Amino acid sequence: MNVNRVGVKRKLRYSAHAVIFANTCLLLKGDIDMALPILITSMIASKIVSETNDMYEDKNADGAAFKAFISLSSSALAFSFGSTGMHRFGGTILLVSQFMAL
């Protein structure tokens, strides 16, 4: 793989982690008006994670796929049912998983 391409993929992966962390903060806030933007950014983060998975031998090395899945599913359920509790539940799971990754 080209060295420049690896650098670009690494930066994309970092941006996916930043988006997931921002989604965590927004999910913990519990604002139902943010459900659709969180859903859209979760889809983008999931796509970035799936496109950059070939960088790692172990696909679950940094937990980005798990975090993207939790962000996507909790925001989709919160958007579908109008539930602020689902927002906070997904945000709490994401927060715990991000602290465990430190």
Domain ranges of the chain: 3-101
Q: Is the dihedral of CA 83, 85, 89, 94 positive or negative?
A: positive
What is the C-alpha to C-alpha distance for residues 26 and 38, in angstroms, rounded to an integer? 8
The pLDDT, as a whole number, for residue 74 is: 92
| Single pTM value for the model | 0.86
User: What letter represents residue 55's amino acid?
Assistant: M
Residues 6+ apart with CB under 8 A from 1: none
What is the C-alpha to C-alpha distance for residues 82 and 84, in angstroms, rounded to an integer? 7
pLDDT per residue over 31-88, tens digit each? 888 889 999 999 999 999 988 888 776 666 788 889 999 999 999 998 999 888 888 9
The 3-state DSSP composition of the chain as helix, strand, coil percent (nearest 5) reads 85, 0, 15
The pLDDT, as a whole number, for residue 57 is: 67
